[in-house]
Structure 1
Amino acid sequence: MELEEVILGQLGGFILAFARMGAVMVFLPGFGERQVPVRYRLFMALAISLALYPATGIGEIVFGGPLDFAPIVALEITIGLWIGVSARIVMSALQFAGYQIGYVSGLSNALAPQTGQFEGATMIAGVLMMAATALIFATDLHHVMIRALLQSYEIFPVGRIVPGDLAEQIVAAASASFYVGLALSAPFYVMGLVLNVGLGLANRMMPTLPVFFVAAPVLIASGLFVLLAAAPTMLNWHLQEMADWLETFTF
């Protein structure tokens, strides 16, 4: 075998590794955030591909021509995008919970234009997402993500793909994300129900009571208090769900 063929074979394997990991980095939580410049994500994907390539077991690739190599690259990109999108769907559970907390707590009220109809919920969701992103690196969850990328070659060997299973798992990811988001915001639903029932009874006993002006600060203060008390547990459970999914890529 000529030296040129060896070099091209090794380069082909690295291209396949970069195709999967580069696609993952587009959406992977922590690494693929919008605040991270694209060139940094590209450099990270190159560095991780170079570091993990010897352990992926891809080996040398024999070039039979561009038409033979391109479909394999496309399959690797598809698998990478699936992993990144699924992880982003799991991460979106916290964003959904943040929006629900904002709505229940009265931070998004059409009758209060000074706070904006959606700005309050967006703010809560943004704070929770920022905290979760910071905790990904503070708790070394990014190490679990990198290890999961390496293990993905055991679950999804190079050149093999089962579209039906991938589609089924995407649906399962959306379902699990919706369930986790509802579970995280459940304490705020209870709080909102209790407060609104209490304020409704107070309005029945005192019809002249300006309920809106009394309810708004009470709901906001109560929502922020419950958020302060529940946020550590919410973030811990959400990140644990993410770590559990990364172990097997199934729900």
Structure 2
Amino acid sequence: MSGLTESFVVAAFLAFCRIGGCFMIMPGLSSARVPTQVRLFVAIAATGALLMHLWDQILPFASREPAILVPMVISELLTGGLIGLVARLYMLALQFIGSGITMLIGLGGGAAPGIESGEPQSALGDIISLSALLLLFVFDFHHDIVRALVRSYEIAPVNVFFDPRRALVDVTDTLGESFLIALRLGSPFVAYAILVNLSIGFVNKLTPQIPVYFISLPMVIAGGLILFYFAVATMLRLFADGFLPTVLGV
């Protein structure tokens, strides 16, 4: 094997480490519902498509020396994993507020394994998270992830080791902004739960001999579902609009 061929193989492997590390964690492709072979072939296909554009940024640093290659592989895996992690954190924020909404309107019980992930989740929260994920794919958010991977070679070159301090700042900023967006999405249901439960508490004090809470539970659920019917479109739109500024910073 010639030196040029070996350098090409090393460069392709380094690109695969960053792209595959991102695809391994990013929402959608990292789901347990997606077979491992599909994820592997998607990562290989994306590596082959992007390697020609990233050739000048990877090939000069493609070294076969183990003392140089091993730290570079670790750095590439961590860099790609960070890009996928910030997208995953944004999606987890929606799953969190989805679970909160179900509890606020009285549908907290009856959790079952989720569609996108195997973790137990309520039916309404699963509908919210799955609809938002499908909406992101419709709006080509996976293309934005690929663009972020290409731009990452300018911010974090191959010859520069992974910076944990900058990564921690990115994760912290993503968590803060995702929490604010999730709180804004769930604020109507928080206000609804406060008003309804406060009213039921007053009625229960006026008529202590009647179990008002258990009698009013179907009406609370019905009101919450009606509110969800009118609010879900705006929720998903705001969630999709906040993806690029929160996750990719554009």
Range class of TM-score, shorter chain? 0.7 to 0.9
Aligned residues: 240
Q: Is the 8 A contact 1:98 1:121 kept in 2?
A: no
Partner of 1:112: none
Partner of 1:46: 44
Deviation at 1:191, TM superposition (A): 0.6
CA distance in 2, matches of 1:210, 1:106: 16
Deviation at 1:246, TM superposition (A): 4.2
Q: Are positions 1:207 and 2:205 aligned together?
A: no
- 1:54-69 mapped onto 2 (5 Å cutoff): 54-56=52-54, 57-69=57-69
Deviation at 1:121, TM superposition (A): 5.8
Q: Give the residue type in structure 1 aligned to 2:69.
A: F
Gaps of 5+ in 1: 109-114
Gaps of 5+ in 2: 113-119
Where in structure 1 do 4 or more consecutive aligned residues deviate above 4 Å?
Answer: 118-121
Shift of the 216–62 alpha-carbon distance from structure 1 to 2, 3 Å rule, reads closer
CA distance in 1, matches of 2:190, 2:141: 30
- 1:12 paired residue among 2, 10, 18: 10
TM-score by length of 2: 0.88
Partner of 1:232: 233
Partner of 2:117: none
- 1:1-251 mapped onto 2 (5 Å cutoff): 4-56=2-54, 57-108=57-108, 115-116=109-110, 118=111, 122-160=122-160, 161-248=162-249
Deviation at 1:248, TM superposition (A): 3.3
Shift of the 198–246 alpha-carbon distance from structure 1 to 2, 3 Å rule, reads closer
CA distance in 1, matches of 2:88, 2:187: 22
Deviation at 1:229, TM superposition (A): 1.3
Instruction: Tell me the SS of whatever aligns to 1:78.
Output: helix
Q: Is the 8 A contact 1:93 1:178 kept in 2?
A: yes
Q: Is the 8 A contact 2:25 2:84 kept in 1?
A: yes
Q: How far does the alpha carbon of each residue in 1:139-194 deviate from its partner, in whole angstroms, 9 at most, with x for none?
A: 22222222122111122111323221111221222222222222211110111111
Instruction: Tell me the SS of whatever aligns to 1:39.
Output: helix
Deviation at 1:59, TM superposition (A): 2.6
